[in-house]
C-alpha cells in the first residue's frame, strides 16, 4: 500500500510500515513538513495514497473528498493522546493488518480507536437535482 503519514502520527508507524515494504511518505522527511491540511490532502490524492492522521479536521476534509468520488483512502487514528508513541504505532499497525481493506486501501474511511476498528467503504454519491 501507499501511505501518507500526517505529522501528528508517531514516527514509529512510518518505520513499521516501511519494514512491511509499504511505500510511505512522511512529511517530516520532505518539503511537505509543516504543510497545510489542504496540501497534504492534495498530495495524497495526486499520488493515490492512504492518508493516515490523528487530525479530525483533516479526516473530515478527506471524507468529503472521498464522498465526492476522489481516489483516496483515509485512516483516522482516535487513540488517547497520552498513549506512548511506540504503543500507538503497534496498535495502528495491528489494526491495519486486521482490517479488511482493499489491496490499495483506496475508497475506504477507517477509524482506529483503542478497542475498535471501523471500516467504511465510501461509495460516491449521485448528484442531486
Domain coordinates in residue numbering, the chain:
2-121
Q: 5-18 as b/e, with b when 16 or more CB fall inside 10 Å?
A: bbbebbebbbebbe
DSSP 2: E
> What's the grid cell of residue 97?
493488518
Top CATH class of 2-121 equals alpha beta
pTM: 0.88
Tell me the per-residue pLDDT of 14-72, one tens digit each, with 9 for 90 and over. 998 999 899 999 999 988 899 999 999 999 999 999 999 999 999 999 999 999 989 89
CA dist., res. 114 & res. 67, Å (int): 26
- Cβ proximity of 74 and 109 under 8 Å: yes
Amino acid at each position: 500500500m501507499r501511505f501518507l503519514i500526517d505529522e501528528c502520527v508517531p514516527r514509529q508507524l512510518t518505520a513499521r510500515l516501511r519494514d512491511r515494504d509499504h511505500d510511505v511518505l512522511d512529511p517530516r522527511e520532505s518539503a511537505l513538513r509543516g504543510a497545510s491540511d489542504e496540501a497534504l490532502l492534495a498530495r495524497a490524492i495526486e499520488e493515490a495514497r492512504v492518508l493516515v492522521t490523528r487530525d479530525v479536521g483533516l479526516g473530515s476534509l478527506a471524507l468529503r473528498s472521498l464522498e465526492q468520488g476522489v481516489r483516496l483512502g483515509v485512516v483516522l487514528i482516535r487513540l488517547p493522546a497520552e498513549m506512548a508513541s511506540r504503543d500507538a504505532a503497534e496498535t495502528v499497525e495491528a489494526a491495519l493488518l486486521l482490517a479488511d481493506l482493499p489491496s490499495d486501501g483506496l475508497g475506504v474511511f477507517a477509524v482506529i480507536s483503542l478497542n475498535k476498528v471501523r471500516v467504511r467503504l465510501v461509495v460516491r454519491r449521485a448528484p442531486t437535482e
